[in-house]
Amino acid sequence: MNATITSLEREIVREERAVGLHEQPITPEVITGRQVQVSTVIVLFAAALLGVSFSPHGTTSLRILTALFACLLALYGIDQDRHLRRLERLSDDTRVINLAVVDALAGSGALASDAEALIMRESAQFHARAIVDRLADLVLADIVRVRIAGPSGEVPLAAVHSGAIDTPDDPAIARYAIRRGHAVQHTGADGRTVLAVPIVHHSEPVFVLELVSPALKPYEGRDAATIEAFGRGVLAAL
């Protein structure tokens, strides 16, 4: 199962690079946004090329070159759409497999091969409710989540503190933060920023603290530092 997840992650990285999305967490919203961008660029260029092609002042050679460029542009759009669709399928496959891994590991009682990390993860899960409540008092957030970090990058939800809003649970940003090994934030179309901070013990991720900011109030670097310091304090207390 781990080999399958690793293979999927490599495929996802390749597809992310092919469409220029390797510097941000992949969510359905991001994929749809890139599809809209590619389509818009193609339509604008196609309109401009058609204008040149049918211009009464255009020469035959110019029309031929314009037609060739239009064909290349169409091929580019088709190729980008293929990569984006494949990236979406791979992301869905990863989520399904991660859920299966979590169920299997939870049933066997082995969330990690390292005994110390296992104890810390179990303790973090046990105290997750207290953790989110205290973090909600420390940092301004509409939603606070604690996710337990699994051995293959899965991040099942342990507890959530909802304030003014309630949004669908999307673990993509938390998984991306674990892959990068540091705090990651992403601002959605609604103006809310999701900040995911992985808490690590001896290079092994134990849990992820995830916060959703109020609209149009993005988090700053000091906020990530505060959350990480809080997480390390929790880790020391486990």
Concatenated DSSP letters of the chain: -HHHHHHHHHHHHHHHHHTT-TTS---HHHHHHHHHHHHHHHHHHHHHHHHHHT-TT--HHHHHHHHHHHHHHHHHHHHHHHHHHHHHHHHHHHHHHHHHHHHHHHHHT-S-SSHHHHHHHHHHHHTHHHHHHHHHHHS--SEEEEEEPPTTS---EEEEEE-S------THHHHHHHHHTS-EEEE-TTS-EEEEEEEEETTEEEEEEEEEPPTT----HHHHHHHHHHHHHHHHH-
pLDDT of residue 26: 65
Taking 70 as the pLDDT cut, the residues of the chain under it are 1-9, 22-27, 49-59, 62, 93-117, 164, 166
Looking at residue 144, what is its pLDDT?
Answer: 93
Fold of 115-237: Beta-Lactamase (3.30.450)
Predicted local distance difference test score (pLDDT) of residue 103: 56
Q: pLDDT tens across 162-211, in order?
A: 876 767 778 899 999 998 889 999 998 888 999 999 999 888 899 999 99
* pTM for the structure as a whole: 0.55
pLDDT tens-place string over residues 63-78: 777 777 777 777 888 8
pLDDT for res 111? 43
pLDDT number for residue 235: 86
pLDDT at residue 102 in the model = 52
